[in-house]
Chains A and B, each alone.
Chain A
Amino acid sequence: MRMNSRIKILIVIGLILVAMSISTAVRIPKIFGESHETGFNRMGIIIWIAKRLLYIWLSASYGTEGLNELKANLSEIVMMNPSITTLSNLMVIVIKLVFALYIPAIAFLGFYILFLSSSPEGRAEAKSMLTKLIVGLIFVSVSPQLMNLLLTVSEGLTSSILAPTAKGVFTKAWDTSIGATPLDLRLELSGLKGLHFIATFIEIELGFYTFLFFMILVWGAFIFPILIRFFAVSVFIVLFPLSILLYSFEFTKALGRTMLEQTIIWTFLQVINALIVLTVVQSIISLGEDFMKVGWGITIPVIPLVGCLMFAVAPLFIIRFFRGFLP
């Protein structure tokens, strides 16, 4: 990487100097904004071009940071899950807290059944409540293993979806939609990078807006379906005993149900990510890459772009669909 950037800097300097020595005879119009009347217009022009090129290079590198790693390690990144061992300290604390709340509740109920049994319906209700509490207690005491099981199931499903998928098509989709510019030592101008190239030469602010495309695409692909999911799964793993406790009591059942649902949804978001990869790959294969190409001089392939965008953004929307599925 460092070698690459050194060469790039050398190329930029070389271009500047070549242009300086060649452009002596060229008449430069004044539309470039520098108001020098002197003959040193050309140096201003060169610096203007150099600045834009440097901006394009820097912002493109910010925008595509980590893209190579994403392409190289797609399976591991999608299957990334927190390890129960790192969370075990926190889980132990929560389990202790939940035990401390369960024991008085069970004791009170037992007391109620044995001594204060008023009516048959009251006794039956108290008995069913007691069984609910005891079942909940069992779940709480094995919650690390339960969570491990949940994560293993999710990982298994994900890998069985990802393994037969032609991931090369997906990574090629990233390459095609990001595209390339002459700064990448290639004689083409395509994809989002090409758009960014042209936009920056029109106005650097406009270049920032095309940089926003990169941001949503690459940063979003990392942050939303993968990293935020990682943090959310960690939180809900740690809170799992508490959600079981809340689910057992009528008064807080709604909150407990929400938390349990969130646990399941965020864990299985992995599977949805893998499904999206599969869908994108299948649609690219079946529709062909030249299905829709938009461009005036630059071609932006729409299907790979939409596929990458879906990977970044769709999981958040799909979460909204799964609600209220627990009793």
Chain B
Amino acid sequence: MRKKKFMNLMALALVIILLMIVSAEAKGIKLESLEVLLESLIIKPLIRGLVIAAPIGYWLAYQDGTSFVKNFNRVILYNPPTEGILPFLNILLKILFPVYSLLIVSIGFYLLLYSSSPEGRANAKSLLSKLIITLVLISLSSRLIWLIFSISGYLTDSIFSLTSLELIGEILNGGIWGMLILSTWLMIPDIELGAVSLMLVYVFAWLPYMVISLRNIVLTTLMILFPLGILLYFIPELKSIGKTILEQFLIWTFIQAFMALALVSVAKAFSVTTLVSNPEITCLNIFPVPGINNMLAWFFTSIDLGTTNLMTLGFGAVAHFSIILVPIVMVLLFKKFLP
């Protein structure tokens, strides 16, 4: 009630001031202060709404602002191509093959012709098997990587089938549009009120891509190091380094399954949770119609009344944040699991 009275008083004062301005203009007196203030009360808020919020709405609606929302399953399922490893693999094999072949032949000679003690023979036998296994695995490493990638991809795909992809897309979409609506609503009176929300719009648009690109970069590096990891694993002194490389490779590959699991969990939580009070914020989304690249576009702007409520906003934010949180949890939990 008090709020309403306050707003009514403000409206009344505004009307009186407008009348004063009109009468002063009619009499020919310039009231500069009033003009300046009208500009900041009417013109600048409109500018803030149109000039700042409209392009962002356009970016989200027609350009690639929402590209993660539209393509999330493809992006999460992406694995680097295994052909990239081949040059490095060839170099490694070129170095390794002669050395190891020499070692294998010499151990063979040792076993056949040089009959020493039983422990010596057992040691030599285990060494021989290790060398052979190393060579075989390294030369198969690109096939091995392809196998691990397809297992992980298949797992992620089946995790995505646990819930409908449209629901996940809806939640992500609601999150980013809701943030834009909130920030437009806040930005119109004063731009700094909407600063935090506007930044979150950009965070939601870019952060998942940054995380997934990080995964791809790390994964490519680990792919290149994969044969080296196998080699080091079978050398007793350097076993721990090889283990680390192999473990990290496996963890970073299966992170895509965990990201998918996180999004599926968000979708499930969204469908079962209801809040006691779900307030709404409505604001104008103004963006020009695409394809008309001149001033005429501003006359054909589509003005949508966008609404967001607390649950959509909250779960949308949680969805975007969980894409970065769940990999962190998994990297911290899964450590040192190879024998």
Contact = CB atoms under 8 A, between A and B. Distances in A.
Contacts of B36: 35
Contacts of A38: 32
Contacts of A35: 32, 36
B33 interface: yes
A38 B36 CA distance: 13
Interface string A83-109: 000000000000000000000000000
A162 to B, nearest CB: 42
Interface in A25-65: 35-38
Please classify how large the interface on chain B is, using the bins under 10, 10 to 19, 20 to 34, 35 or more. under 10
B186 to A, nearest CB: 17
A38 B32 CA distance: 9
Nearest to A40: B33
A38 B30 CA distance: 10
A interface, by DSSP: helix, strand, loop or mixed?
Answer: loop
Interface string B147-164: 000000000000000000
Interface residues of A, number: 4
Nearest to B192: A205
Contacts of A36: 32-33
Contacts of B32: 35-38
Contacts of B33: 36
B175 to A, nearest CB: 30
B44 to A, nearest CB: 14
A35 B39 CA distance: 13
Interface in A223-267: none
A35 B32 CA distance: 8
B193 to A, nearest CB: 13
A36 B33 CA distance: 7
Interface in B13-45: 32-33, 36
A91 to B, nearest CB: 32
Contacts of A37: 32
A35 B35 CA distance: 11
Interface string B35-65: 0100000000000000000000000000000
A36 B35 CA distance: 11
Interface in B91-146: none
A37 B30 CA distance: 11
B192 to A, nearest CB: 8
A287 B74 CA distance: 65
Nearest to B35: A35
Nearest to A205: B192
Nearest to B32: A36
A212 B210 CA distance: 32
A262 B33 CA distance: 62
Nearest to B36: A35
B339 to A, nearest CB: 26
A273 B36 CA distance: 54
A35 B37 CA distance: 11
A222 B36 CA distance: 44
Q: Which 5 residue pairs spanning A and B have beta carbons closest together? A: A36-B32, A36-B33, A35-B36, A37-B32, A38-B32
Interface of A: 35-38
6 contacts: A35-B32, A35-B36, A36-B32, A36-B33, A37-B32, A38-B32
